[in-house]
Chain A
Amino acid sequence: MNEIVRDRIDVALTVNGEPVEARVPAGQHLIDFLRLELGLTGAHASCEHGVCGACTVRVNGDAVRGCLMLAAQADGAEVWTVEGLTDTGEIADLQEAFVARNALQCGFCTPGMLVAAQELLAREDAPSRAEIREHLSGNYCRCTGYEAIVDAVETVATARAGKGGA
């Protein structure tokens, strides 16, 4: 039996906590599966070669490029998008800080920025501005809003550290 599938691959995964079963084209990007098949259009497909970070989503606990992962590779994975992270309230403080600091203009990069920032804050208790910049260096903002974005992430880092220490 030839096990090489030329066209459609069966996958079963969870997306934002919900089980999903689908038959996906062999070359379909995870980001396109999320956007086109599941209607989760928060994360964006942009440069499509891993440079800009607009497609960043969480897979098995890690922030990854949705354009450098095929939907077929997500079989058995736990995927979270900005929609799911919004619904659970996990990134509510980050979102508030982005609004308060006007850390977005067009908002195209924002879902990727939020997923990337949340990963940093989950791993580092008190990242410096330099560490925040370095971590977000994989996410382009074409409105040149980096200063405000770093401010917003720093604000949340400080606030969370304060809560944790109290």
Chain B
Amino acid sequence: MKAAVGGYARARDLRHALELLSSADGAGRVLAGGQSLVAALNMRLTTGDVLVDIASLDECRGVVDEGETLRIGALTRHAEIGRDPLIRTHAPLLADAVGHIAHAAIRNRGTIGGAIAHADPAAEFPACALALGAVMHVEGLGGRRSIPAEAFFRDTFETALADGEILTEISVPKAAAGEAQAIEEVARRSGDYALAGLCLVRREGRHRIALFSVGPKPTLAAGAMAALDGGDVEAAVAALTDEIDPPSDTQASGAYRRHLAGVLLRRVVARIEGEAR
């Protein structure tokens, strides 16, 4: 179908974008790469939006090494994340995730900030942000805020972003020495949304497990994390399958998704142990 939009404006810079959003009387939608938003417009899941195109905001682009953290501009495209040497070295989870995100042509335009702000429960980058302990930097006309990933994702397509705020940057802690990061997912076809997916970060002996496509938002599996800290993979799988309650839909039953989550946990643990050897 064709998109039905309520208007369009090109922002010159961040301040201008925020002013445009505020003048749109609640109908404003931030248009970055558009790979989810334009698809939603085409399917008429949303109509009448006033699109504020932020593509030219150069201050929201690129990856900067800040010592302890990497600061990633929200407009950095998936394909750029995939080939960025700083990301590959210090946040390899994000680089690995790119290969799972849709197809090459989508990765050429989709942005990390767009994916995180959109908060699709089946998307890879929100779960990566949660597993890595990322911090989202957002800006509104009233000022700047920094929101940890745990507080950022609230529900299906719902985040802590307030009306009129724009996600500008994401800070990711740089991987410690010997840190392991891995992502695994099961999808029906390469590039499709995952039936279930799992990110694992092992940082100084502590584990963080973030799941996607098994609930309304990316979630940390606290029980499984504690079991893995104790070195017990079987207990971690048992804890994991107890602490999630995946939905059933036309793609997969909840029970199958729960089973897949356990399979993915075993697989990802085997992978990081194999790589450590």
Contact = CB atoms under 8 A, between A and B. Distances in A.
Interface in A29-80: 29, 32, 48-50, 53, 56, 62-65, 67-70, 72-73, 75
Interface in B75-131: 79, 102-106, 108-109
Given A26-B51, A27-B4, A72-B53, A135 B104 contact: yes
Contact of A138 (B31, B34, B79, B105): B105
A60 to B, nearest CB: 9
A138 B103 contact: yes
Q: Which of A56, A63, A73 is packed against the most chain B CB atoms within 10 Å? A: A73
A2 interface: yes
Interface of B is mostly: mixed
Contact of B34 (A68, A116, A139): A68
Given A4-B9, A69-B34, A64 B51 contact: no
Contacts of A26: 5-8, 51
A4 B26 CA distance: 13
B41 A2 contact: no
B151 interface: no
Contacts of A93: none
23 contacts: A3-B9, A4-B23, A5-B9, A26-B6, A27-B3, A28-B2, A49-B1, A49-B43, A50-B102, A50-B106, A62-B105, A63-B108, A65-B35, A68-B38, A68-B42, A70-B3, A70-B51, A72-B53, A73-B31, A73-B34, A120-B104, A134-B190, A138-B106
B189 interface: yes
A137 B10 CA distance: 33
A67 B34 CA distance: 10
B50 interface: yes
Contacts of A120: 104
Interface residues of A, number: 35
Interface in B18-63: 20, 23-24, 31, 34-35, 38-39, 41-43, 50-51, 53, 55
Interface of B: 1-10, 20, 23-24, 31, 34-35, 38-39, 41-43, 50-51, 53, 55, 79, 102-106, 108-109, 189-191
Interface of A: 2-6, 9, 26-29, 32, 48-50, 53, 56, 62-65, 67-70, 72-73, 75, 116, 119-120, 134-135, 137-139
Contacts of A139: 103
